[in-house]
Structure 1
Amino acid sequence: MLINTVFAVALFLGIGIVGLASVSWFAKKPASLGVTEQGTLHPCGGKPNCVCTFEERASHSIDPLSSIDGAEPTVLRIIQDVIEAMPDAKLVDMRQDYLHFEFRSRMFRFVDDVEILWNRQTGTVHFRSASRSGHSDLGVNRKRVERIKRSLQAELRKLE
């Protein structure tokens, strides 16, 4: 009886883990990536698993970094170095003022997209971080962007 119960629990957990992992394996790259025609990052959808500096809804809004002076290659290179130093970060797209990274969670390999847009005219760094799958992210994307901002500010202070 005990062996059957242990086997049933192990089977249930195994199926659950495979099910969760398959969600991340088949999560497609969303169409809401990149810079819009208006020169902004896309707004978040309706799920509480995204933050963006262009959002007006408090649940999705996060402050940009302002007054970042410097030549484009230097600022973008520092941003890239800061993010690539983070665990599970992978640069997947780099354009003139735009960077796109994928972060994969260690256990279930869920993908989060992190986008950076630097406005050279205003010296503002904008952020968008969103989970590809699931509903809630338990604040992971907000915490990640705040960590990126702190690290970026520390690196930029070294240049002063």
Structure 2
Amino acid sequence: MKKRYWLLCSLPLVGCSTIPPELGVSGETLKDCPITPNCHSSMDKNAQDIAPILFKGSRAQAKEKLVGIINSLPRTTIVEEQDNYLRVEFRSHLIGFVDDVEFLLSQKVGDRTQIDFRSASRLGISDLGVNKARMKKIKVLFAQ
């Protein structure tokens, strides 16, 4: 019984204390997803189940709108911000597990911007569809 108590008490700390994986832009792309169902990417041919966000406007305008959407969502922290890149940490409500989400903004021909993303749980194998649902929600909010 005592072991079970310690295990339950330490679970919130496990979710908060994991070290983020090596993330960032490699060339002109985001890193590929691992072979787990808790990662979704618009660039990785193995995990490309959600199309990138397309925006009619400049990269600066797209980034401003994206930052506003991210800041409106609960339990988010923008960890890194560059002209064409954002890295965001989303924490789960109960235990505080961290999901790492990256956005890469590319100016396309004319007045168009493409926003690619990679969203992955930092810990575990399954996320019960949370990362995919989050990216779909961000796409819907961006379209409004």
Count residues with an aligned counterpart.
141
Q: Aligned letter for 1:90? A: T
In terms of Rg, which structure is larger? Answer: 1
Query: In the alignment, which residue of structure 1 is the partner of 2:138?
Result: 148
Deviation for aligned residue 1:19: 3.6
Alignment of 1:10-89 (within 5 A): 11=2, 14-31=5-22, 33-37=23-27, 39-57=28-46, 61-66=49-54, 68-89=55-76
Q: Aligned letter for 2:61? A: T
| Cα contact 2:24–2:31 (8 A) shared by 1 | yes
Q: CA RMSD in A?
A: 1.7
User: Partners of 1:25 and 1:72 in 2: how far apart?
Assistant: 33
Identity, % of aligned pairs? 34
User: Partners of 2:116 and 2:3 in 1: how far apart?
Assistant: 43
User: Partners of 1:14 and 1:62 in 2: how far apart?
Assistant: 40
Query: In the alignment, which residue of structure 2 is the partner of 1:111?
Result: 98
Between the two structures, name the one with larger relative contact order (CA 8 Å, sep ≥ 6). Answer: 2
Q: Give secondary structure in 2 for the equivalent of 1:87.
A: coil
Deviations for 1:31-67, whole angstroms, at most 9, x for unmatched residues?
Answer: 1x11112x01111001211100012225x5321123x
Question: Unmatched 5+ residue regions in structure 1?
Answer: 1-7, 155-160
Structure ranking higher in strand proportion: 2
Question: Unmatched 5+ residue regions in structure 2?
Answer: none
Structure ranking higher in helix proportion: 1
